[in-house]
Structure 1
Amino acid sequence: MASFHLIRYPDIGATRYMGLDRPVLRATGGLLFWRLLGTGRGTSMSLGADPRRWALLAVWRDEPALEAFLEHSPIAARWRERASEYWHVRLTPVTSRGHWGGVAPFVPSIPPSPPIRPASSLPLGLLSAREPDLPTDALPRPAAKGPSTPDGPVAVLTRASVRALRLVAFYRSIAAVDRELRESDGCLASLGIGEWPLVRQATFSLWRDATAAGSFAYRGVHHRQVISRVRAENWYAEELFARFIPYASTGTWDGRDPLR
Structure 2
Amino acid sequence: MKDLPVSQISTFTLMRFNGLSNTFWIFGQMGKAQKKLEEVPGLLFFKLLGSGGGNGFSKSLNVNVYALHCVWESEQNATDFFELSDTFSEFKIKSAEIFYIFLKAVKAHGLWDGTNPYELQNLSPNGPVVVITRARIKLKFLLKFWRHVPSLGRKVSQAEGSIFSIGIGEYPWFMQATFSIWDSYEAMRAYAYGSPLHMEVIKNTRELGWYSEELFANFIPYKTVGKWNELDFHLDQKV
Task: Please say whether Structure 1 and Structure 2 have the same fold, judged by a TM-score greater than 0.5.
Answer: yes
Shift of 1:70: 1.3
Match of 1:250 among 200, 225, 228: 225
Which letter does structure 1 place at the counterpart of 2:69? Answer: L
Give the 5 Å matches for 1:173-252. 173-252=148-227
Instruction: Give, in whole Å, the separation in 1 of the partners of 2:198 and 2:54.
Output: 16
Structure 1 residue 9 and structure 2 residue 21: aligned?
A: no
* Residue among 41, 44, 48 paired with 2:60: 48
Aligned partners of 2:108, 2:54: CA distance in 1, in Å? 24
- Counterpart AA for 1:173: H
Amino acid at match of 1:174: V
Q: Check if 1:155 corresponds to 2:167.
A: no
For residues 206 and 96 of structure 1, the distance between their equivalents in structure 2, rounded to whole angstroms, comes to 16
**Counterparts of 1:28 and 1:213, CA distance in 2:** 33
User: Post-superposition shift, 1:46?
Assistant: 2.5
Query: Matches of 1:184 and 1:44 in 2, distance apart?
Result: 16
Paired residue type of 2:35: P
1:189 to partner: Cα distance: 0.4
SS of equivalent residue, structure 1 residue 230:
helix
C-alpha distance in structure 2 between counterparts of 1:215 and 1:250, whole Å:
29
Give unpaired runs (5+ residues) of structure 2. Answer: 1-8
* 1:158-205 CA distance string (max 9 Å, x none): 110000001011001113212211210111000001001111001000
In the other structure, the counterpart of 2:117 is 105
What amino acid maps onto 2:38 in structure 1? Answer: R
Does the 8 Å CA contact 1:41/1:48 hold for their aligned counterparts?
yes
Q: CA deviation at 1:255?
A: 5.0
The CA RMSD measured in Å over matched residues stands at 1.4
| Cα distance between partner residues in 2 of 1:179 and 1:244 | 22
Q: What's the CA shift for 1:256?
A: 4.1
Partner amino acid, structure 1, of 2:90: R
Residue in 2 that maps onto 1:93: 105
Deviation string, structure 1 residues 99-141 (Cα, Å, up to 9, x no partner): 0000011111223x4xxxxxxxxxxxxxxxxxxxxxxxxxxxx
**Percent identical across equivalent pairs?**
35
Query: Is 1:70 matched with 2:82?
Result: yes
CA contact under 8 A between 1:43 and 1:181: conserved in structure 2? no
User: Number of residue pairs matched?
Assistant: 223
CA distance in 2, matches of 1:71, 1:259: 19
Normalised TM-score (structure 2):
0.89
Tell me the TM-score normalised to structure 1 length: 0.82
1:84 aligns with 2:96: yes
CA distance in structure 2 between the aligned counterparts of 1:176 and 1:28, rounded to whole angstroms: 38
Query: Post-superposition shift, 1:19?
Result: 2.2
Check whether the contact 2:50–2:67 (CA below 8 A) recurs between aligned residues: yes
Offset, 1:71 = 2.1
The reply on whether 1:18 has 2:30 as its aligned counterpart is yes
Query: What is aligned with 2:5?
Result: none
Which residue number in structure 2 is paired with residue 132 of structure 1?
none
